[in-house]
Amino acid sequence: MREEMFLTDAQADGLATFQNQRVHHGQFQNAIARITNFHRSGTRAYAPGIMTFVGETGAGKSSVVENFCSMANSGDSHSCVLSIIIPQSCTIKNLASRILYALGDPCASMGTRESMERRIAMLADHASVSMLIFDEFQHLTNKGSQARRYDTADWLKTQLEILHRPVLFVGLPEVNDIFMVNPQLETRRRGRIELHPFDPSTKDGAKELLMLFHFLNQALPLPDPSSSVLKSNEVMLRLARSCKGLIGYITKVIYRSVEIALLSNSPTLTEQHLTVALSELKEASDELDTRAARPLQSKRKQTIGRVISRQKKGLQDEPF
Ligand SMILES: Nc1ncnc2c1ncn2[C@@H]1O[C@H](COP(=O)(O)OP(=O)(O)OP(=O)(O)O)[C@@H](O)[C@H]1O
Ligand SMILES: [Mg+2]
């Protein structure tokens, strides 16, 4: 096991700035444009309706939403976009209380459902809310009975009627299930946005990925980015395949490998750093996947064997 060292303050600053960078790749820009247009037309419409924004975990949805909100809520505009993250197993009352909390209600979880609804309408006007975004929306509908799901869908439909504001549902592809529970919501859906993983096997997908690596390399917090592995097309496309083209996994491996490079005072990022980071992360995810299913001892032996053979072979094509 490698002995873990400490980052200096300067290294920690560099790594954090690198991790905070968001690359405006093609799908990212398209999603921002669609959401912006929905917002702009929705604020002028009497019945603006719903838009859905779905993608697999790690596709980059929340990063798009954060970017959109910071643009929409900056500048001279007096109105604001309200973004709410829905917790697991959320009930209608929990949701109403979350909205009230985001609107600044000091007693967000108090009162009957009716009084909460009245306060939502009043505070949304008072705060000039121009759009609502619900991230992790699948948490509203992936648990509970069919009847409870129907109630939730019905409550949302009524809120749309009362609030007259555009609403964006963001989450995993299961978000679409709510439209089957209550077809009245479907008639209020104005559009769907999907964020797909990058596809390294197509010309366009590979081009987008290489652009992503190029921008990440420009922000690399190491002294010699000119010789970094981020510039090696073959190695990086192989990494993208290992990560199923999902930006959340790709960046996770890169961030950890940059940390390893910083800790070893390496002037640049090498394939070896990537290989070690990928092995570590795959090992952790294998443990998570199968800990409950297999006895710990036999699992550990298998994992250690796999990691050693992976490190010998370098970057592999298997996803994690
Ligand atoms: N445009 C981007 N540029 C650079 N890194 C990105 C970008 N988009 C996403 N990432 C990286 O991927 C990580 C995961 O992205 P994000 O949280 O947006 O995914 P998500 O689709 O919301 O996933 P989940 O469904 O699990 O919430 C981010 O923390 C960030 O490190
Ligand atoms: Mg997210």
With beta carbons less than 8 A apart as the criterion, state whether 155 and 113 touch: no
Mean pLDDT is lowest, of 45-59, 277-291, 305-319, for 305-319
From the CB of 142, is ligand 1 less than 6 Å away? Answer: no
Q: What is the pLDDT of residue 302?
A: 41
pLDDT at 2: 65
Minimum mean pLDDT among 202-206, 223-227, 271-275, 279-283: which range? 279-283
- pLDDT for the residue numbered 3: 77
Average pLDDT of 254-261?
98
- Assess whether 42 and 164 both reside in one domain: yes
State if residue 65 touches ligand 1 by the CB under 6 angstroms criterion: no
pLDDT reading at 8 higher than 60? yes
Structure tokens that stand for 181 in this block: 């529970």
Lowest mean pLDDT among 15-24, 31-40, 148-157: 148-157
User: Over the stretch 186-236, which tens digit does the pLDDT of each residue have?
Assistant: 999 999 999 999 999 999 999 999 999 999 999 999 999 999 999 999 999
Residues pairing with 53 in the sheet? 170, 193
Task: Tell me: do 223 and 140 sit in the same domain.
Answer: no
Q: How many domains does the chain have?
A: 2
State whether the beta carbon of 251 lies less than 6 angstroms from ligand 1: yes
Q: Which two tokens stand for residue 319?
A: 């996803």
The Cα-based distances of 34 to 123, 190, 191, 192, 275 in angstroms read: 27, 11, 9, 9, 37
The Cα 68–Cα 35 span in angstroms is 8
Q: Structure pTM? A: 0.90
116 plus 260 within the same structural domain: no
> Ligand 1: does its nearest atom lie under 6 Å from the Cβ of 191?
no
* Domain residue limits at 127: 26-194
Confirm whether 92 is domain-assigned: yes
Tell whether 53 and 121 lie within a shared domain.
yes
- Judge contact between 244 and 271, C-beta under 8 A: no
Domain end (from 159, 194, 229):
194
- CB of 29 closer than 6 angstroms to any ligand 1 atom: no
Same domain, 49 and 169: yes
Domain boundary among 194, 225, 249: 194
Do both 227 and 272 map to the same domain?
A: yes
163 vs 103: CA distance, rounded Å: 14
Q: What is the pLDDT of residues 87-119, one digit of tens each?
A: 998 999 999 999 999 999 999 999 999 999 999
Ligand 2 midpoint to CA 56 (Å): 9
pLDDT of residue 288: 62
Residues 252 and 147 in one domain: no
| Inside any domain, residue 148 | yes
Looking at per-residue pLDDT, the higher value among 72 and 307 belongs to 72
pLDDT value at residue 76: 76
* Same domain? 178 vs 235: no
Average pLDDT over residues 19-43: 98
Spatial separation of the C-alpha atoms in residues 163 and 166, rounded to whole Å: 9
* 49/160 same-domain check: yes
Range with the poorest average pLDDT among 9-18, 148-157, 187-196: 148-157
Residues 205 and 190 in one domain: no
For a pocket test of ligand 1, which of 27, 30, 63 has the largest count of ligand atoms closer than 8 A to its C-beta?
63
Q: What residue's CA is closest to ligand 1, atom 24?
A: 57
| pLDDT of 143 | 78
Q: Which ligand is nearest to the CA of 174?
A: 1
173 and 272 housed in the same domain? no
pLDDT score, position 318 = 45
Q: What is the CATH number of the domain that holds 45?
A: 3.40.50.300
Confidence of residue 179 (pLDDT cuts 50, 70, 90): very high
Cα 9–chain centre separation:
28
Residue 156 identity:
L
Q: How far is the CA of 62 from the centre of ligand 2 (A)?
A: 4
Q: How do residues 287-317 score in pLDDT, each as one tens digit? A: 666 554 444 433 333 433 343 344 444 455 4
Residue 53 is assigned to a structural domain of this protein: yes
Question: Average pLDDT, whole number, for the chain?
Answer: 90
